[in-house]
Amino acid sequence: MPIEAPLARPCLPLLRSAALVALAWAALAGAAAAEPQFVKSAKPGAGLYELVFSPAMNRLYVAAAGTRGASETFVYALDPATLETKETIALGDDPVFGLGINNKTKMLYGTQTRDGSLAVIDLTTGKPVAKLAKGEKAHVREVAVDEANDRAYVTVLGMRDKPSAVWIVDGAKKEIVDSIDDLAGGIAGISLDAKNNRLFLSALQSNEVVVVDLATKKVTNRFPSGGEGSINLVYDASGDQVFVANQGSGEVTVLDAKDGKLIKTLATGAGALSLAIDPERSLLYVANRQAGFTSLIDTKTLEPIANVVTGSMPQTVAVDAATGNAYVTNKLKTAGRPRPPAPPAGAAASGAAAPGATSAASASAAAPAATPAAAPSAPPAGEGARPRPVPMVDPFGDTVTLIKP
């Protein structure tokens, strides 16, 4: 008769350890499998551009330039949880496009590119308190704010043979107190390394990163961006690296901030335009305007995490580091203005008829054999304007989207 072996008693400490390990692995697997969440989207107004988040005011501020030729433009103040518009800041017919914020002084800076000025807005009153300018029609673009020293730095884009500049604004005086001039390469984007008192600038025309020492106001280094159409950039202090959005090549390049060495190239999507870092979660957000989605990248591993369709044409990103919420503005798609058809061959060289006048015989001879019914007809020279663009109905453009990582 077979003898039954006595049932072995499990070792409880071992089982507890195994259970804890299993739970830990399950948690890690869940974290790895977690995907960013599209929470909600809102349409506060027309012509949305840059947005910034203010923990001090518990508001999300969005620049809205309105439709073409608008006489009423605004900055909208949204509730960051609901995306409801809580306040509006009226700017008349002089909109702002780029935004920077000092949360300590509760001052908002907005680039008024149409007339080459910088608007300073007191967020406690919701009123503009200053309008700063230097020179004529400066192409002001982006703003970086040093909250500790109450300074704002504004890029002035110069292209072709025109040099660029960076304005230095004293926040207390509300004045342009200095500038860094004669910058070559078409300076577009800006990022501040406050700890080391330096600026990183993206040169759109020369595809470079320019480093400026703020103590001397001198360029200390220039190095290739590694991509084409280097429009914006952001400095990552945790890795002492610079992320560059290359709009022309649809890539984000990662560069060593010390020497400009190319660390990695990430093909995020067509029209990679703007960037924002969540330092608490080591996340980089990239708005890919032509591709139509926003990319999330791990700043430690430099690996892509996910692409989120946030709207028609993602424009800019702002992050609430405390909650991890990320906000994206999305531009409205446009059909573009139709081009009039080219004149018949030889029509421009004919000097027999007055401008815009053509004989029936010559018109018949020059006309193509068949013309598609949908092709727009051009008015005679000097008579009427170019055809108007076909209206574009885009429910996913001119939106602000909230996503969670």
289-300 tens-digit pLDDT: 999 999 999 999
- Tell me: pLDDT of 118 over 90: yes
In angstroms, rounded to a whole number, what is the distance separating the alpha carbons of residues 207 and 205?
A: 6
Percent of the chain surpassing pLDDT 90: 74
In angstroms, rounded to a whole number, what is the distance separating the alpha carbons of residues 403 and 309?
A: 10
* C-beta atoms surrounding 165 within 10 Å: 22
Please report the pLDDT score of residue 339 as a whole number. 63
Please report the pLDDT score of residue 344 as a whole number. 59
The mean per-residue pLDDT over the stretch 94-109 comes to: 98
pLDDT band at 69 (very low <50, low <70, confident <90, very high): confident
Would you say 102 and 124 are in contact if contact means Cβ atoms under 8 Å apart?
Answer: no
How many helices (H) does the chain have, and how many strands (E)?
2, 28
203-231 tens-digit pLDDT: 999 999 999 999 999 999 999 999 999 99
Please report the pLDDT score of residue 337 as a whole number. 61
253-284 tens-digit pLDDT: 999 999 999 999 999 999 999 999 999 999 99
The mean per-residue pLDDT over the stretch 356-380 comes to: 38
- Tell me: pLDDT of 24 over 60: no
- AA letter at 151: R
pLDDT band at 26 (very low <50, low <70, confident <90, very high): very low
- pTM of the model as a whole: 0.81
134-161 tens-digit pLDDT: 999 999 999 999 999 999 999 999 998 8
- Tell me: pLDDT of 346 over 90: no
322-334 tens-digit pLDDT: 999 999 999 999 8
Q: Which of 178, 252, 249 is nearest to 216 (CA)?
A: 178
